[in-house]
Amino acid sequence: MLWRCVKRTFETIPPDLGEKPSSDQTKDVTIFLHCFIIHVFGACDDLAWILVHEKGITKPDGSDLPPAWIGFRKDNKHARKQLSAKMLGVFDGFEKRFKHVEEFRHSLAYRIPFYVPPYNIPTDQEDDYRRLERDSWDALMRRDLEEHQRLKAEQDDLTFFRPWFTHPHSENSPTMVIHPQMPADFDAVLELGEATFRELQPASGLMAEDSDM
Q: Could you tell me if 188 and 94 are in contact, meaning their C-beta atoms sit under 8 angstroms apart?
A: yes
pLDDT tens profile 29-41? 999 999 999 999 9
SS3 state of residue 176: strand
β-strand partners of 160: 120
pLDDT tens profile 122-180? 888 889 989 889 999 999 999 999 999 999 888 888 888 888 887 655 566 677 889 99
* 68: number of Cβ within 10 Å: 7
**How many residues are there in the chain?**
213
Half-sphere exposure (CA, 13 Å, Cβ side) for 39?
A: 16
pLDDT at 206 over 80: no
Backbone angles phi, psi at 85, to 5 degrees: -60, -35
Half-sphere exposure (CA, 13 Å, Cβ side) for 201?
A: 16
Q: Is 178 exposed, middle or buried (0-12, 13-18, 19+ CB in 10 A)?
A: buried
Alpha helices, H only, 55-172: 77-80, 85-93, 95-110, 126-141, 145-157
Which of 196, 2, 185 lies closest to 98 in space, CA to CA?
A: 185
Residue 206, phi-psi category: left (phi > 0), alpha (psi -120 to 50), beta (remainder): beta
